[in-house]
A and B are shown apart, each in its own frame.
Chain A
């Protein structure tokens, strides 16, 4: 071991202070926007990019934890939240549009992610899919349908270099970047963001459930609907879990 484990944590708190269900915005400034939709709660921890708030949804403890930008940062958040007992993760994020039919402000429910980033490769080889949990997908769709919001379901692209997407011509490998983005577009990838692939692969390694609700943007756009839909989706998921506790014969997702 190169360094002793647990030298430093970024999310401070006890397992009792973190809910088993977690919403993961990237931006710490978005934590309170989401927290406004919970029944009550309090701030648990604030350190660097990681702001953690825990409240209640239908009496069930739910945490909202910002992850910062990029795979490395969200993987740290996941590791620490799993150590604190969380089992279900929904990223609530923003992205750039890759398909002409998608309008700015449309919501994207993540079925899976293109692993065009480095963090997930330090967990599992690239042949392993970054796939969202089926129940998380279904619950987020139910939430969007209940609120009547425009939404798509499909594959998102996760990259490490934001400016490589925005200004590829400036990069020495610019042509390669342009070719790659064209390939993802032709393969039907809906939008591009920076954290989903790492989130899904880390969750798989720990046998946890994960998914994401992403707003596709090409401009500044209010995030009210995104936050409402994420909380409603989580509410649907919790209800699904509670219904299932009475049933047997689970479809085991392995």
Chain B
């Protein structure tokens, strides 16, 4: 077993920041462009690291110290980010990322706040067996929902499908595993699963196993200029709502009262 890697100057191996540099809460995002939006929303914002697909902006939002971390795409990147953010001293994470609507005929709110996820990715299975549920922190989900409504949004909820191979789910025909993929798609259609992403289930599972609180705030059109600031404001407002002490995901757990 090797010791946890860090740089010679104690910076974290991939994130490139120092432990303690980010405060206790962080926003993770798959969209690096959001760091620019974050820099304008935060006071005293500064870029603290940029390494591979990981880059970090820190600052304060109404006195709350916050790190906004771009993490690249997919479950393995998500797990690395969650591990290193725990090492950095973070206790609560909101992931702001994108999803593909599974039922393209449905019209409705575009914001999606899943409270649980289907673990169709393998990274989380290297942490804990599939029998373990991928659950967001209910308090953080509730805080996100309220903050989204304050922004005039009507978020959609439920479970999301987190998969390693979205293109296969969109085009299962002629794939070597088409029968299995179509079967999973049929289950999702039966349950009314609203959308598919790459790493919500990894976030929920790995964060919980490491004793962190997490939730996801998803939107299908991250490239639209107004979307980034809106999502970031919702996430920041959720952090400020003041979460009840939770026994949900603390390991070892803490009692509620």
- A129 & B192 in contact (Cβ 8 Å cutoff): no
CB proximity to A under 8 Å, residues B187-213: 187, 190-194, 208-209, 211
**A interface size (C-beta, 8 A):** 50
Among the stretches B29-37, B90-98, B126-134, B168-176, the one at the interface with A is B126-134
> Are A155 and B135 in contact, CB atoms less than 8 angstroms apart?
yes
Q: Which residues of A contact B209 (CB under 8 A)?
A: 186-188
Provide the main secondary structure of the chain B interface: loop
- Quick one: CB contact mask for A98-138 with B, threshold 8 Å, 1 for yes? 01111000100001111110000000111111110010011
- Is residue B255 within 8 Å, beta carbon to beta carbon, of the partner chain? yes
Q: Is the CB of A131 within 8 A of B115?
A: yes
Contact A127 B119, beta carbon cutoff 8 Å: yes
The reply to whether B256 and A151 form a contact with Cβ atoms under 8 Å apart is: yes
Do residues A188 and B252 form an inter-chain contact, with CB atoms below 8 A?
yes
| Measured CA separation A155–B250 after assembly (Å) | 11
Q: Which of A113, A137, A148 contacts B133 (CB 8 A)?
A: A113
Give the residue of B116, B133, B157, B193 whose beta carbon is less than 8 angstroms from that of A251. B157
- Minimum CB–CB distance for A237 against chain B, Å: 14
Residues of A within 8 A of B145 (CB): 251
Chain A, 139-173, CB within 8 A of any chain B CB: 141, 144-145, 148-155
Which listed residue, B130, B252, B255, touches A126 by the CB 8 Å rule?
A: B130
In the assembled complex, A205 has its CB within 8 A of some CB on chain B: yes
Contact A152 B135 (CB under 8 A): no
Q: Is the CB of B257 within 8 A of A188?
A: no
Cβ–Cβ < 8 Å partners of B257 in chain A: 144-145, 148-151
Whole-angstrom distance between the Cβ of A190 and the nearest chain B Cβ: 6
**Contacts A106-B255, A151-B256, A187-B128 given: A254-B142 contact, CB under 8 Å?**
no
A selection of 11 A-B contacts at a CB cut-off of 8 Å is: A114-B131, A115-B133, A124-B187, A131-B115, A144-B257, A153-B246, A186-B209, A190-B247, A249-B149, A251-B145, A253-B158
Shortest 10 CB-CB contacts between residues of A and residues of B = A254-B158, A152-B247, A188-B251, A129-B133, A131-B116, A112-B133, A115-B131, A129-B116, A126-B130, A154-B248
